[in-house]
Structure 1
Amino acid sequence: MKILHLIVDHFRCTDSADAKAYGQEKIFSFRNFFWILFAWMILWTVWPSLCIGNVAIDVAENIAWGDNFQFGYDKNPYFGAWLSWAAFRICPSEYVFYWMSQIAATLGLAAVYLLTAEVTGSRFAGFAAGLSALLIPFFSHSACEFNDDVICIALWGWSALCFYRAVKKDSLKSWIGAGVFAGLALMTKYLAGALLLPLGLLLFFTAEGRKCWKRPGMYLAGAVFLVLVVPNVIWLCKNNFIALSYAMDRARLDEPTTGLGTRLKFMLDTAGQFLSRLILPLASLLVFRRSAEKTPDTFGRKLIVIAALAPFVLSLLFILVTGGKVLTPWLTPYFVFSTPLLVLWYRPLPERRTFRCFAAVIIVAAALFVVFFGYEYLHKRPYLRRGVTYNVWPGRTVAEQMTKQWRERYGRPLPYVIGDRTVTCNVTFYSPDHPTAFFDHLTELSPWIDPADVQRRGAVILWTGNDPPRYLKDYGPRIVMLPDIVAERAAVGWYRKLAGPLRTVTVHAAFLPPQTK
């Protein structure tokens, strides 16, 4: 019974002047929080660089897209591809993207701190929300791949923060920021609409929001948003809305209609994927006692609740209505506002003793994340898995061999690579010639391709599996078949020296010789 009384007393709402004073101490300043984020960023930049042997496919795909300037691509809008391509041109290495992914996560966590601190009026609340978010995989080991989902971590966070500041302070600078970040978020992934539309409802259904209609800031934000979005809308119209078709295919909307039972199963799966990742941050906050004082900022509370729950609820409704699926990586930016919501609900009381326990939980969890990540990428994927994941596909070896053979045979840079996403993106990324990718030999997937130019300048054609691609016969006797490339799975050199040789991957290859001299 004594233990039960202690537990009940721990969770009983309480407050004290000492706790309030401690919660505003400089230890919880944004500057100190930033230095923690900086150390976190270094950890998750360096460790993946030492563990992963090949570029992530989403990174290589964005480079292949960005190399061909478009206002949209067959899977996503344009911003992720443009940003990745610009970073690659400045630093042509896969390692820069581990850094870029952590910059995105750091910016998102900075927005978490600032939004929570401003809504609650407590530095400690911002600190607790930001640090507990480190226990969510999408802010650590699952954020090591610089893809559009990870980019959205930063853009969603700053969209909501700027929107909150704009409505509360009627600042033109904040309105412009809201327009920029909202536009870029939507132009990174259309899923951002699941955040932006619910936030927009606050302009109709709150007193603070309705006042904005009488001021110029909101209209300026809308104009900035449209400048960023309209070019993509035009591109979609010209390209048969191919990116939206891809999203529907990925959600399996093209499959036969699913029954209610299957839809409920999909909903439970998605809810489980989302809620299970909140167990650790919630457990870390339970270390604290609860405060009796509630946040007086009604608009701020509504914003955080809507930003945290609306995209998740809309995803469940999407599954229920359509029978489609919501893939786990799509949930990545949903977690940006989850710990602010937990802090608003639980109202942790700042005390020195419990904060030390909280910090210890973060440190132990971080150490476990590092160990599990190392095992997964150093040993399990390269040595134990039967299937070849993109992290161990021998992209560098294949690209270097093909480029070398092409140059020796034809005395010119390799202009095009034809094949599936994995082979084309890897060769585009690793080849010093950075050939243009021709995805699956389909111009609808590669609208930048001029088939006549491919015929004229030639290409390398790559495939895996026993059957050659159907389009190989389109080039008739011009095709030059090459010996198979048999390459080891990709792994980092230092660990290969310890663990020994890896299993091999076989890639088939052919040249389409150039017609011009």
Structure 2
Amino acid sequence: MAFSADPIPTPAASAAGRPVVFYVLLFLAGMVALWAVLCGISHKSPDLDNMEELVWASSFEWGYYKHPPVPAWFMYGLASVFGKPIWLTFLAGQLFSALALWFVWKLGCEFTTPRRALIAMLLVSVTAYFSVRATMYNHNSVQMWSIVASTWLYYRALRYGRASDWLWLGAACGMAFITKYSALIQFAAFFLFFLRQGHWRDRAALRGVPLALLTFLLVIAPHVYWLFQHAFEPLHYADESIVPGGDPQFSVMSDIWGFLTTQLGRLSPMLVAWIALYAWNRRAASKTAKTSAPTAAGAAAPRYAQELSAWDRSFLLIVGIGPVVLTVLVSGALGTRLGSSWASTFFVLFGFYAYWWLRGDEHAMLRRTAIVIVAIQMLMAVGYAIGRGPLAYYTGRKTDSTYPGKQISLQMQDIWHQYVPGAPLTLVVADTWLGGNIAVHVRPSANVFIDGSLRESPWLKSSDPTRCGALVAYSTADHSSGPSPAVRRLYEQAPYKGVLQQRWSTQKSPMIVVHWGIIPPQPDCPARPAH
């Protein structure tokens, strides 16, 4: 039989729950607009990960040489509608952050009131992974919605035992897995809770697990087939990312310490919100005590966590804290590296941990929480936009956000048309960063031949993609350490060569030196399709 908890109000049937949905959607829409607009205005170029996804969005593939495909799928769909403006990556990242927060609220509504669920959602929204780092459209930020959706569906599957919840759970887990393989660590936390609560003795759960496994396998099957066809390339990349490789400077303990302190910093806005709420509540309680006569009912109200069932508290603690604990233990045991951004999905339930000290009227608590969180969100968004925009520009800092991608692209297009008049620029041979910054500003669109590698550029179906001409470019002033052997070879073959110099921002900023070569179209180049 399915799990049975202490009776709680059913939020879906509560009249008080209906208006809360409006405030949830209002906050999420405001958050998306705030961050996307400010970043779109302040950034001249996106972060490297954003640019990589824009480049990969040139075609729909079942996998890419570095990662599973889901983020590129979504960007491919968005780019088909909007093209490839850099602001699209900021908007997309924030949309997925908002979707993840929606599922945080939906999960909270399963075991507490909609207002208290909104309090938890608001608190976790100011952690770096839901705010600042959600402007970075990559596999970590895109995975958050499917991890939280999986957590919500896992709760529902265990609690209600319905086949539909188990089927949807498998589908959500499949999407999380083919977004980034690190979803396995969350699945491990699910498994620990399954064992800890004895659900392996529950017939309903044992019938549901195969259903979830079925839809999980159906969702990931095309990607698994692709992996077999491509020698499991993303797994090799993942292995190279976590293995120290004999680095004599690498220390497991210092790496773990750096990982944990970085996470503390990224959680710090939520901790600030907790402190502000605690102080506000103390002051409000003190005023109430001075103006109200003591009564027999004047004992302190129970904390919100005390009103949850023991099963719910266990779920929040094991499923919520499990991923970070398991990651640290596995890294320590195997001696592997820890990337700080890998923890993007590890703290999605941490807003609920305020329940262990929050108490009192939920209307007043929600109002105070909303005021604190909106203030922090606005301060963070404005500060981030100023710091990454005009402040970085006028101080000459070398940042992705101030990279003059559009200026370089326009100059490269002028040079192209000088040597190849009348022929469109359709291909840029370069690394992802430089090639992407040139290609996204070309109209009509141009593709990037990443490092001259067909393996890394699956959207190029021809065995000789340069037949219709190509701009070859490389620079060592940005993310690249120099041209790949294939780029160098094509550069040497180019009949026209030159050097472009461009300041990063102001006169005191670094000089960007771009070496370019032009390969004209061959006589047998097929006509470019009309747009």
Shorter-chain TM band = 0.7 to 0.9
Given the alignment, which residue of 519, 522, 528 partners 1:515? 522
Partner of residue 393, structure 1: 403
Partner of residue 260, structure 2: 271
How far has the Cα of 1:184 moved from its partner? Answer: 1.0
Partner of residue 286, structure 2: none
Q: CA deviation digits over 1:228-247, x for unaligned, max 9?
A: 21222222233232212222
Partner of residue 10, structure 1: none
| Structure 2 unmatched runs, 5+ | 1-13, 283-300, 525-531
Contact 2:129 2:266 in 1 (8 A): no
Q: CA deviation digits over 1:245-281, x for unaligned, max 9?
A: 222333343234777xx21111111111223333442
Matched, 1:39 2:40: no
325-334 vs 474-483, greater mean Cα deviation: 474-483
Partner of residue 383, structure 2: 372
How far has the Cα of 1:31 moved from its partner? Answer: 2.7
Percentage of identical aligned residues: 22
How far has the Cα of 1:306 moved from its partner? Answer: 2.6
Q: How does 1:191-202 map to 2 (within 5 A)?
A: 191-202=182-193
How far has the Cα of 1:110 moved from its partner? Answer: 1.4
Q: How does 1:41-120 map to 2 (within 5 A)?
A: 41-92=32-83, 93-119=85-111
Partner of residue 321, structure 1: 333
One-letter code of the match for 2:254?
K
1:351–1:479 CA distance, 2 compared to 1 (3 A): closer
Matched, 1:434 2:445: yes
Q: How does 1:95-494 map to 2 (within 5 A)?
A: 95-119=87-111, 121-208=112-199, 210-211=201-202, 217-256=208-247, 262-285=251-274, 287=278, 288=281, 291-292=302-303, 294-340=306-352, 342-350=353-361, 356-387=367-398, 389-407=399-417, 409=420, 411-446=422-457, 449=460, 452-465=463-476, 470-471=485-486, 474-475=489-490, 478-489=493-504
SS of residue paired to 1:77: coil
State the distance in 2 between where 1:476 and 1:153 align.
41
How far has the Cα of 1:447 moved from its partner? Answer: 5.0
How far has the Cα of 1:35 moved from its partner? Answer: 1.6
SS of residue paired to 2:392: helix
One-letter code of the match for 1:34?
L
The TM-score, its normalising length taken from structure 2, stands at 0.81
One-letter code of the match for 1:269?
G
State the distance in 2 between where 1:257 and 1:302 align.
41
Q: CA deviation digits over 1:394-449, x for unaligned, max 9?
A: 22233333344435515333343222221122233222243332222234433555
Q: CA deviation digits over 1:432-472, x for unaligned, max 9?
A: 24333222223443355567413533321111139765445
How far has the Cα of 1:81 moved from its partner? Answer: 0.7
1:322–1:511 CA distance, 2 compared to 1 (3 A): farther
State the distance in 1 between where 2:110 and 2:161 align.
15
| Structure 1 unmatched runs, 5+ | 1-22, 491-498
State the distance in 2 between where 1:298 and 1:162 align.
19
1:363–1:452 CA distance, 2 compared to 1 (3 A): closer
1:361–1:475 CA distance, 2 compared to 1 (3 A): closer
SS of residue paired to 2:464: helix
Partner of residue 290, structure 2: none
SS of residue paired to 2:516: strand
Q: CA deviation digits over 1:78-130, x for unaligned, max 9?
A: 111111111011111222332222211111111112212322x2233212211
State the distance in 1 between where 2:359 and 2:515 align.
59
SS of residue paired to 2:456: coil
SS of residue paired to 1:483: strand
Contact 2:168 2:215 in 1 (8 A): no
1:285–1:472 CA distance, 2 compared to 1 (3 A): closer
One-letter code of the match for 1:115?
L
Partner of residue 506, structure 1: 513
Contact 1:414 1:435 in 2 (8 A): yes
State the distance in 2 between where 1:476 and 1:377 align.
34
One-letter code of the match for 1:133?
V
SS of residue paired to 2:449: strand
Contact 1:28 1:124 in 2 (8 A): no
Contact 1:148 1:188 in 2 (8 A): yes
Partner of residue 493, structure 1: none
1:325–1:383 CA distance, 2 compared to 1 (3 A): farther
Moved over 4 A (4+): 23-28, 207-210, 212-217, 351-357, 447-451, 466-469, 499-504
1:264–1:500 CA distance, 2 compared to 1 (3 A): closer
How far has the Cα of 1:359 moved from its partner? Answer: 3.7
How far has the Cα of 1:25 moved from its partner? Answer: 5.6
State the distance in 1 between where 2:108 and 2:444 align.
47
Contact 1:195 1:311 in 2 (8 A): yes
1:347–1:461 CA distance, 2 compared to 1 (3 A): same
The TM-score, its normalising length taken from structure 1, stands at 0.83
372-381 vs 207-216, greater mean Cα deviation: 207-216
1:255–1:235 CA distance, 2 compared to 1 (3 A): farther
1:228–1:407 CA distance, 2 compared to 1 (3 A): farther
Q: CA deviation digits over 1:318-350, x for unaligned, max 9?
A: 33123332222222222211212x134334433
Higher helix fraction (1 or 2) = 1
